[in-house]
Amino acid sequence: MNKWLTLLAKVFAWLAVAAVLAVVLLFLGFLVVRGLSTFNLGLFFGKTPVWAAIAGRLPVWHGIWPACVGTVFLVLLASGLAIPLGVASGIYLAHYAQGAWKRWFGLAVEVLAGIPSILMGLFGFALILFLKKTIMPQANTCLLLSACCLALLVLPYLIFMTQTTLESLPEELRLAGLSLGFTPWQNMLHVLLPAASRGILSGVILAVGRAAEDTAVILLTGVVANAGLPSGILDKYEALPFHIFYLASQARNEAELAKGFGTALILLLITAALFLGAYYLKSTVTKSWDQKDLLI
Amino acid sequence: MGSKGPVDLEPTVVVEELHVGFAGREVLHGLSAEFHRGRLAMILGRSGSGKTTFLRALNRLNECFPQSETRGSLRVKLQGHWRDIYENGLPLPELRHRVGMVFQTPHLLPLSIAENLALPLKLILGLPRREIPARTARALEEAHLWEEVKDRLKAPAHILSGGQQQRLCLARLLALEPEILLLDEPTASLDFRAALKVEELLLSLKERYTVIAVSHSLSQARRLADAALIFRDGSVVQRLSRADLQARDILPTLLEEIF
């Protein structure tokens, strides 16, 4: 009986893995088959000369270049806001918060994690309306507002990952530095954070991925279908997820729909590139940490 | 031990009426003791008798654990000045590198061998980069480790054997030029040979430092200790001099007390 159960569990586990792999491959294959044919300079720049478009001298119509730039800016800005805040909150929860306060703060983070992205978008929209009516009549939805709302959306991933990784480090690692006479801050910066960098990086990757794909938040806070390159963080912008949504709902023929698939593939590639960037950053951090050459 | 040591020797650590508790449960009940430079004092007793807590009271490491409470007087002579370590504001980091500690298992920093010594030198003493190699080499020599690691200073510290790791931890302490060494069962995680090497090292160190070591082993105490405190349930139940430890007829009662 027991033997059969074990076998059954094994088969089920294998099937589950196979199913997940199959879905991922099917999904990628589908995107490639439908979208790859649209890959050319026209997809990015329409009929605008490439260098003029990249330099921003001529506007791009019917190309996804402004949306690519918008998405990269958006993700970088949102990560730049969320990563320091999230990591700092995680450190606070893991090492400094105590008792009831820690429970309440932890609960608040959980609530934040449960807020649907459309609500975060509404919050941003309401915030701008409020500012417009009170102290800043010129305020408008823009790249910065979207980035702030996205940062709020991804903050819980960063906090959770930082907190759980720091809390799972062995006690002896914490005591080693402290017993030598490191201040708590030196111990955090030079011993604990580097040791936790792998876990924190997982949080960063989750956050970047989430920030790159979210459509609901930016829909209400500043993205538009045709803005060209954003001229600043207080400007309206284009973004890839919204562009995909737009193409999918407004496509008038097969060719336009195919562009949607091509755009989705580009979004996937950009996210992958951001992940690779994060990995590279992490490996240089840990490398310089492992092999500091003070003796040379 | 105070009464049984030579009278002309002034102690370097004086503990009076030390109470330590965690979350309202008292672990040490009004303990008093004295320790001297140039001597190795050993603390013996069952698990849970408060030995480690006592050591950690001496470098205030108990405060790294939740809800710890310490009362009593704990005076230490550092650089010729008496300091009450819980009273007159000796900064914690300074106290901890002057009163260095080695743990039961090697507590390495996950760095290279050299960096394990260099990072504390840089961060705690603020030593300029050019002075670090010489200081590192000197400490490794003092810990009888230099010959074994001089060709692979940049290798990760965790590839060393257990005994070497423990001596590396000692070298890391010695590089910071402490005055008092706290050793929490430094040979407990080592095999016989590695333990002997560490013991040899301790014998050579005790001339220049005040050494306070916790041990489980009576035979180790007989080999190394100049004095011993027997702990039971958070109190000192017996104080022994070196002569007491060597005396044959004391063995049965000691075994009874400790195990």
pLDDT at B6: 46
What is the reported pLDDT for B140? 93
- Tell me how close the Cα of B128 comes to any Cα of chain A, in angstroms: 10
Q: Domain limits at B211? A: 39-56+93-258
pLDDT in tens, A240-281: 999 999 988 988 888 888 889 999 999 999 988 888 888 887
Pair A20, A96 in one domain: no
Is A133 in the same domain as A219?
yes
Cβ contact (<8 Å) for B132 and A294?
A: yes
pLDDT of residue B3: 42
**Residue A22 structural domain:** 1-38
Tell me how far apart the alpha carbons of residues B229 and B51 are, in angstroms, rounded to a whole number: 10
Q: Does a structural domain hold residue B61?
A: no
Is B145 inside a domain boundary?
Answer: yes
Q: Name chain B contacts of A172, Cβ cutoff 8 Å.
A: 103, 105, 107
- DSSP SS3 for B247: coil
Same domain membership, residue A131 and residue A97: yes
Same domain flag for A30 and A48? no
Listed as ranges, residues in chain A with pLDDT below 70 are 1, 285-296
CB contact under 8 A, B115 and A292: yes
**Among candidates A179, A289, A290 on the partner chain, residue whose Cβ is nearest the Cβ of B59:** A179
> A92 and A168 share a domain?
yes
Assign 3-state DSSP to chain A and report helix, strand, coil percentages, each to 5: 80, 0, 20
The H or E element spanning position B198 is helix B192-205
In 3-state terms, what secondary structure has residue B11? coil
- Position B226 scores a pLDDT of 92
Query: Does residue B123 sit within a domain?
Result: yes
Q: Which of B111, B119, B136 sits opposite A290 (nearest CB)?
A: B111
Q: Are residues A201 and A220 in the same domain?
A: yes
> B122 contacts in A (CB within 8 Å)?
294
Measured from the Cβ of residue B248, the count of other Cβ atoms closer than 10 Å reads 6
Residues of chain B where predicted confidence (pLDDT) is lower than 70:
1-8, 256-259
Contact A180, A250 (CB under 8 A): no
B72 inside domain: no
Please indicate if any CB of chain B lies within 8 Å of the CB of A190: yes
What is the DSSP secondary-structure string of A20-69? HHHHHHHHHHHHHHHHGGG-SHHHHHTTS-HHHHHHTSS--SS-SHHHHH
Considering only the beta carbons, identify the residue of A178, A182, A291 that sits closest to B123. A182
Name the minimum distance, in Å, from the CA of B20 to any CA of chain A. 18
Q: Which residue of B has its CA nearest to A194?
A: B110
Please indicate, yes or no, whether residues A11 and A156 belong to a single structural domain of this protein: no
Cβ atoms of residues B210 and B37 within 8 Å: yes
One domain, residues A262 and A244: yes
pLDDT in tens, A85-113: 999 999 999 988 888 999 999 999 999 99
Q: Count the alpha carbons within 13 Å of A37 in the hemisphere toward its beta carbon.
A: 8
Please give, rounded to a whole number of angstroms, the shortest distance from the CA of B36 to a CA of chain A.
22
Extended strands (E) in chain A:
none
Regarding an ipTM greater than 0.90, the answer is no
Collect all residues with Cβ–Cβ distance below 8 Å to A287 and sequence separation of at least 6: none
Residues A27 and A105 in one domain: no
Residues B203 and B232: beta-carbon distance below 8 Å:
no
Q: Are A205 and A278 in contact, with CB atoms under 8 Å apart?
A: yes
State the DSSP code for B112. Answer: B
Structural domain count of chain A: 2
Q: What is the pLDDT of residue A293?
A: 41
Q: Are residues A99 and A199 in the same domain?
A: yes
Q: Give chain B's end-to-end CA distance (angstroms, integer).
A: 21
Interface of A with B in 146-185 (CB under 8 A): 172-183
Please state, in angstroms and rounded to a whole number, the distance separating the CA atoms of residues B72 and B31. Answer: 9
Residue A289: its chain B contacts at CB < 8 A? 111
Count up the domains in chain B and report the number: 1
Q: What pLDDT does residue A295 have?
A: 36
Query: Does A177 sit within 8 Å of B93, measured CB to CB?
Result: no
Indicate if A109 and A166 belong to the same structural domain. yes
- Asked if B97 and A98 come within 8 Å (Cβ–Cβ), the reply is no
Measured between CA atoms, how close is A181 to chain B, in angstroms?
A: 4
Is B119:A281 a contact under the CB 8 Å cutoff? no
CATH number, domain at B128?
3.40.50.300
Token digits for A170? 């062995």
Q: Is the same domain home to A2 and A110? A: no
CA distance linking residue A75 with residue A213, whole number of Å: 9
| Radius of gyration of chain A measured on its C-alpha atoms | 23
- Across the interface, whether the CB atoms of B176 and A292 are under 8 A apart is answered no
State the pLDDT at residue A288.
57
